[in-house]
Structure 1
């Protein structure tokens, strides 16, 4: 076997392989002889069909099978001997494939890029310092009360946050439009579930009122015949309901896993959960800043095969999120919606892998179990969760990857300039969310700039 490797770009290689004709012909002949033992054909006894007939009938098919197998096997051997690390599947094409001639094929593949890490020294990272106060706990308990509130009919005008039971019908001019009507619909004012301007006009309404609302559909409304159109809705109000908040008593507390109904235990559990959430928000915010600095300090040529794999994964996530069903063909979703995010994820993954490799980071079984126990605290039966994770190699691998990522971020954090900033519980959660949005926007802008330069 003769092999030559050409470098066609920083991450693309072109492998040309030649296999002696004798090897292919011998493999084809052997397979045809084996097949001949079981061939049934009119006019011949089983196993007595002449090889000339066998070759004429099955020769082309058998040769294609042999050549396919040989190309796959020799490709694997070639990348191993030349120490190539493929990123995705290759494109393999036979360039010479004739009986009596040496087989020649070309494999074009992308490889993982070689990365020389640049330090993020000097990068500024803000690390929030947050303490969950008793007032924060009170606010969270109020939120839990609202989530468990019941609706009761009230004899007053509707206010923001009330629930109205209504009939409605929508008109374009004097004509009702399809899908614009309902009876006995429950609508919470301020929920944002209706067209902008609809809910606000129901503030002040009372039971038995007949209202006529003027609204304009958004320009990007999903129904093209309604997008940007002015419409009138005739609304009949049947009932106005306000929230009846539950008392924070033993019965309320038991709903949240405090079986003995002890209020102090309940407050302590709420505070513990909030502290864990705040800690996660701090870690995520710090991590996002560190990874953003890592990407800015290091330019990586990303294999398109990896980007496509990540794009396909994001498509599947989107399909699940929107309930499109397991049988939905995700190829119907355009790559453009996911490709920028996918490319950024692949960049980060490659860079973190290099940080882990350079610093020889490891995650022991004890560390994996400790991490799983930490995650399991959020569940009612944590021990079962721990055993489930520790008995599943795939889940253990996911946890191991998360631990290694955390260690890599810690290594990078030592290079950065870290400033502690005191923040409230609410602010730290909002800041973490805002940072995610900023990073996504910057990623989008950078991708757009790269396209313009290209």
Structure 2
């Protein structure tokens, strides 16, 4: 083994595995295979190894080479006392003739292993970080407001004769077309439209004013420039609509029976449930604000060299999402008062911050012996599976067979546990704020 590059966090090693070791491993593997393979014309366990070598030698040697790469990488890192930032990469002989000699055990395997090491850094003093925790006291007025909104959202409708008015609910079937051709996702046989709700494309609901049950109309609309489906954004469309029913809203009586409609035994219990929802919602927002302050403080206390490939991967993930969002919304960098070059520089800083904080949190968690249990990962997996109704088995198999995917469930649990550990050591001061103050989100928070 020869080290050919030590530059910052980058390492490159030349490694040679003698042909004798390759051939020895191949012989042992074929000998083991001899007792298990079944070939026509040979009794079990009596297939000559030379015959097996002709049939399976190259494929088996390819497996051995892959195992050796991983085995040598693990041993090398252990011996050097290094931790790779990402899986090492291997440069193998590309010449077909040379590769064939290696796979037949006639030539040494010489290859290059390249990797980046995790940086070694001293942790800044993270004890006593000052945190101002914004707290919202849930008032009766806020509970009543949520109750009134629930009553409005769940109010009953009653079929009526005559023309549709603002606030009425129409049951319709529709078929959407662009340039006279139906488009995917543009049809429904039993859709509810509440006029004035603003839940449909601008102009759609308004054109149903005055409609009556049984009436057919053709609506002309234009999809917004920032519409979620990029293939429809900004395009003119028509909708062939048949009105099946017109219904007017009725005021919901907020009483014991109203609560029972939601499977709750009494109105007081419903108010308790709504209060708990608000407490949970405000609590999550408080947690986010506190975590942001904590991460900002940690970021200020740590500056060290970052593994370039980790930063590049994080940047690519972020930038890919930015491009998708801009394509979906139909907006440009000029619309955001910036340029692509400036935006990339800004997002690269965010990628660097994420990588740096990830390494800092990991180091703190390791020193504090923070552990994530298998039960916690299993609960996270169950929650993830529930997000894909009808595909539960496929999602389960995906995570079961992909260690990296399973690790992606473990990572956020670990991070939150480290944050909890740090908050126990922080100097936290509570501050009562309004709901609007708590839920306000500035641009820095969005970026973070």
- Normalising by structure 2, we get a TM-score of 0.63
Matched, 1:274 2:278: yes
Match of 1:4 in 2: 2
Matched, 1:290 2:288: no
Distance 2:358 2:371 in 1: 17
Match of 2:256 in 1: 250
Distance 1:161 1:306 in 2: 52
Name which of 190, 195, 207 aligns with 1:189. Answer: 195
Matched, 1:404 2:409: no
- Normalising by structure 1, we get a TM-score of 0.62
Distance 1:183 1:35 in 2: 61
Distance change >3 Å, CA 361–CA 75, structure 1 → 2: closer
Query: In 2, are the aligned partners of 1:40 and 1:46 still within 8 Å (CA)?
Result: no
Matched, 1:353 2:362: yes
Name which of 130, 149, 154 aligns with 2:155. Answer: 149
Match of 1:162 in 2: 168
In the TM superposition, residue 403 of structure 1 has moved relative to its aligned partner by 2.8
Distance 1:192 1:186 in 2: 12
Distance change >3 Å, CA 357–CA 135, structure 1 → 2: same
In the TM superposition, residue 275 of structure 1 has moved relative to its aligned partner by 2.2
Distance 2:73 2:411 in 1: 29
Q: Spell out, residue by residue over 1:290-336, the C-alpha distance to the aligned partner (whole angstroms, 9 max, x if none).
A: 32454465456256469759959x99xx9xxxxxxxxxxxxxxxxx9
Match of 2:433 in 1: 423
Distance 1:397 1:50 in 2: 47
Distance 2:58 2:421 in 1: 56
Query: In 2, are the aligned partners of 1:170 and 1:231 still within 8 Å (CA)?
Result: yes
In the TM superposition, residue 18 of structure 1 has moved relative to its aligned partner by 2.9
Distance change >3 Å, CA 292–CA 222, structure 1 → 2: same
Name which of 302, 306, 309 aligns with 1:301. Answer: 306
Partner SS, residue 194 of structure 1: coil
Taking only aligned residues, the RMSD between alpha carbons, in angstroms, comes to 5.1
Partner SS, residue 196 of structure 1: coil
Query: In 2, are the aligned partners of 1:146 and 1:243 still within 8 Å (CA)?
Result: no
Matched, 1:111 2:117: yes
Match of 2:390 in 1: none
Distance 2:187 2:263 in 1: 42
Distance change >3 Å, CA 271–CA 27, structure 1 → 2: closer
Distance 1:157 1:401 in 2: 57
Distance change >3 Å, CA 248–CA 427, structure 1 → 2: farther
Partner SS, residue 404 of structure 1: helix
Match of 1:178 in 2: 182
Distance change >3 Å, CA 406–CA 256, structure 1 → 2: farther
Matched, 1:19 2:23: no
Distance change >3 Å, CA 31–CA 214, structure 1 → 2: closer
Distance 2:230 2:287 in 1: 43
Distance 1:227 1:47 in 2: 69
Matched, 1:198 2:204: yes
1:208-357 equivalences in 2 (<5 Å): 215-219=221-225, 228-230=234-236, 239-256=245-262, 258-259=264-265, 261=266, 263-295=267-299, 298-299=302-303, 301-302=306-307, 304=309, 346-357=355-366
Distance change >3 Å, CA 233–CA 141, structure 1 → 2: same
Match of 2:77 in 1: 79
Q: Which runs of 5+ in 1 are unaligned?
A: 319-335, 373-392, 444-454
Q: Give aligned pairs, total.
A: 379
Partner SS, residue 241 of structure 1: strand
Distance 1:50 1:233 in 2: 72
In the TM superposition, residue 139 of structure 1 has moved relative to its aligned partner by 0.6
Q: Which runs of 5+ in 2 are unaligned?
A: 325-343, 381-405
